[in-house]
Amino acid sequence: MHDHVKFFTKTAAAAFACWALIFAGGLLATAMIAYIFSVKASQASYNTLYLVLSSLAFLAIYFIVANKTSLSFILSRLFDEKLSSVLGEKVCGLIQRFSEKQPNWAQSLKNGAALKDKLLDSSQQDSSLNKIQRKAIAYGLKKINLDDIDFKQENSNLPQIVSDRLMLTLSETAKHSYGLFWVVASAQSLLMLAVLAYNLKWL
């Protein structure tokens, strides 16, 4: 147990460092580009509003990329340390607990979204899960599709079906890479260079 607490503490700290590195890198890149354009503004017809809006848009994109990359880092660590199975087991346990408390509860669900909401709410209130595990489960539940399940029919395999889909989604996300950051940074640089070239009549 102590080792697990130590692992999750280190993983959380490393994930935050990963998030901060990516967002700080995006902030720095955006600031540098904005500075270059502000210098060139006196030499060419330049749309200041475009610079402000595009900078804000890219900062928002960097924020999303930082969140996604840090989450993939967390999941990759969970899978590497063979601790990811706890997530699927927990979701299985929640569904089984629903059935024990209220038989035929699934028939009252309108669709897959209702089940995901119920699982999300229960997992967030589960004191046996730490913050990292709750975040991973929440992400997986938002991504999986359960709309093809017929809730009107009794399905004893429902816990395993949901668990398997959750784990498949998480395993696909658990591929840590900074590639997305470099794609966004390159796209930002190329876009800004194109606009600058146009305003300086280089094209």
pLDDT per residue as tens digits for the range 114-160: 888 888 888 888 888 888 888 888 888 888 888 888 777 777 688 88
- Vertex 180: Cα angle to 175 and 183 (nearest 5): 150
pLDDT above 90 covers a percentage of the chain that reads 12
Residues ≥6 apart with Cβ < 8 Å to 128: 90
Please say whether the dihedral angle defined by the alpha carbons of residues 141, 88, 157 and 121, taken in this order, is positive or negative: negative
pTM value is 0.71
Q: Is the pLDDT score of 16 beyond 50?
A: yes
Eight-state DSSP code of residue 178: S
Q: What is the mean pLDDT of residues 192-198?
A: 74
Q: What does the pLDDT read at residue 179?
A: 86
Residue 203's pLDDT band, with cuts at 50, 70 and 90, is: very low
Half-sphere exposure of 147 (CA within 13 A, CB side): 4
